[in-house]
């Protein structure tokens, strides 16, 4: 489903990710004025009664201190994949983390204090000065995976368990192929630019079940609905509505527009709590005031 990557550009770490979901799931971009740290974030919206486990959750964001994170769901072995877990409290904690944590260490402490209440999966977290980590949340605890040679990557599989793919977790959701492809393209931190990784179409052809296993995914029922880069140094959220490649490939059962480019939104331009980009990919008047002019990170 989702692909999370990061690389050191020579000056700072930049995190990046694709949001892969059933096509009726939507994302929008919001700004939040908070103390001590305001932030930009991507919030999930599910129409109707059929909801994914991360419905209503802020799953990506960057704050005014330079803390950034992005997320990929992985179910516990006993979970029913994707379905919202009524036993968990509403997943509002990522908002609180962005509003109060400035570093990876502070974010990890925040998560550890409430680990049993967090939605399981992989959280890729970085800040403006240190090394990013993948915080794997499972069984009410956190397990960390560090970067290797200036690069880091994960998808919807466990990083530290010998059983990387949970039982009954569909292959198109687990994304083992996307994980391997991400590491290959990153080339130990000296390979492809992050935007190139996110737009990759290796294994894009759908199989008989309508699945596509490319990083920029174009499956029949589900695929990439948005994409982002998170610059920790400039505190910028680069966001792309729809497929980062910019166009459908003909496999999809929906007609959805796509920007085909990344638009930079800067935290230091936030004026109020606001919706910056709608679920239909329209930049609002509040959003235009937060848009910056800057070169895309390498």
**Residue 58 bridge partners (DSSP):** 43
- Highest mean predicted confidence (pLDDT) among 121-130, 152-161, 164-173, 186-195: 121-130
Rounded to whole angstroms, the Cα distance separating 223 from 117 reads 28
Name the band, by pLDDT with cuts 50, 70 and 90, for residue 287: very high
Residue 56 CB neighbour total at 10 angstroms: 14
Q: Is 65 inside a domain boundary?
A: yes
Kindly list the distances between the CA atom of residue 275 and the CA atoms of 75, 121, 264, in Å, as whole numbers in the listed order.
30, 27, 15
Rounded to whole angstroms, the Cα distance separating 224 from 230 reads 17
Report the run of H or E that residue 198 belongs to, with start and end: helix 194-198
pLDDT at 189: 63
Q: Say how many residues make up the chain.
A: 298
> Do 115 and 140 form a contact (C-beta atoms < 8 A)?
yes
Q: Is 104 inside a domain boundary?
A: yes
Name the band, by pLDDT with cuts 50, 70 and 90, for residue 109: very high
SS3 state at 277:
strand
Rounded to whole angstroms, the Cα distance separating 208 from 183 reads 27
**Residue 237 bridge partners (DSSP):** 230, 265
Q: Is 164 inside a domain boundary?
A: yes
Cis geometry, peptide bond prior to residue 67 (ω within 30 degrees of 0): no
Using only the alpha carbons of the chain, give its radius of gyration.
17
Q: 59 Cβ partners below 8 Å, 6+ apart? A: 19, 42, 43, 44, 70, 71, 94
The tens digit of pLDDT for each residue in 205-223 reads 888 878 889 999 999 988 9
Q: Is 199 inside a domain boundary?
A: yes
Mean pLDDT of 171-196: 83
Q: Is 224 inside a domain boundary?
A: yes
The number of CA neighbours under 13 Å toward the Cβ of 151 is: 20
Name the band, by pLDDT with cuts 50, 70 and 90, for residue 176: confident
- Is residue 48 over pLDDT 60? yes
Q: Is 295 inside a domain boundary?
A: no
What would the two tokens of residue 53 be? 């486990």
Name the band, by pLDDT with cuts 50, 70 and 90, for residue 172: low
| Domain count across the chain | 1
The residue among 254 and 278 whose pLDDT is bigger is 278
Give the CATH number, domain containing residue 252: 3.60.60.10
- Is residue 90 over pLDDT 90? no
Q: 19 Cβ partners below 8 Å, 6+ apart? A: 2, 27, 42, 59, 60, 224, 225, 226, 227, 228
DSSP string, 88-100: SPPS-HHHHHHHH
Q: Is 26 inside a domain boundary?
A: yes
Q: Is 297 inside a domain boundary?
A: no
Rounded to whole angstroms, the Cα distance separating 5 from 179 reads 9
Domain range enclosing 13:
3-288
Mean pLDDT of 59-69: 99
What would the two tokens of residue 43 be? 């919030």
The residue among 197 and 83 whose pLDDT is bigger is 197
> Do 211 and 225 form a contact (C-beta atoms < 8 A)?
no
Q: What are phi and psi of 100, to 5 degrees?
A: -125, -15
């Amino acid at each position: 489903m989702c692909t999370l990557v990061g690389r050191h550009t020579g000056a700072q770490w930049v995190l990046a990710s694709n949001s892969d979901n059933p096509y009726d799931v939507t994302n929008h971009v919001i700004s939040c004025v908070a103390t001590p740290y305001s932030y930009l974030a991507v919030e999930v919206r599910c129409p109707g009664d059929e909801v994914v486990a991360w419905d209503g959750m802020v799953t990506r964001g960057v704050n005014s201190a330079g803390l950034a994170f992005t997320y990929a769901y992985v179910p516990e072995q006993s979970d029913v994949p994707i379905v919202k877990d009524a036993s968990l409290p509403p997943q509002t904690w990522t908002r609180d983390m962005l509003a109060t944590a400035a570093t990876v260490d502070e974010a990890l402490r925040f998560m550890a204090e409430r680990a049993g209440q967090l939605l399981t999966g992989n959280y890729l977290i970085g800040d403006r000065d240190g090394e990013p980590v993948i915080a794997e949340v499972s069984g009410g605890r956190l397990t960390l995976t560090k970067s290797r040679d200036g690069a880091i990557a994960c998808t919807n599989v466990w990083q530290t368990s010998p059983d990387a793919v949970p039982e009954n977790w569909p292959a198109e959701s687990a994304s083992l192929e996307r994980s391997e492809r991400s590491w290959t393209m990153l080339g130990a931190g000296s390979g492809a630019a992050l935007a190139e990784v996110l737009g990759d179409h290796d294994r894009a052809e759908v199989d008989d079940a309508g699945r596509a296993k490319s990083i920029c995914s174009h499956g029949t029922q589900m695929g990439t609905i948005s994409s982002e880069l998170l610059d920790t140094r400039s505190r910028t959220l680069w966001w792309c509505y729809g497929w980062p490649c910019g166009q459908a490939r003909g496999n999809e059962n929906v007609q959805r527009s796509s920007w085909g480019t990344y638009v930079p939104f800067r935290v230091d331009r936030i004026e109020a709590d606001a919706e910056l980009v709608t679920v239909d990919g329209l930049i609002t008047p509040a959003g235009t005031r937060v848009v910056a002019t800057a070169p895309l990170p390498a």
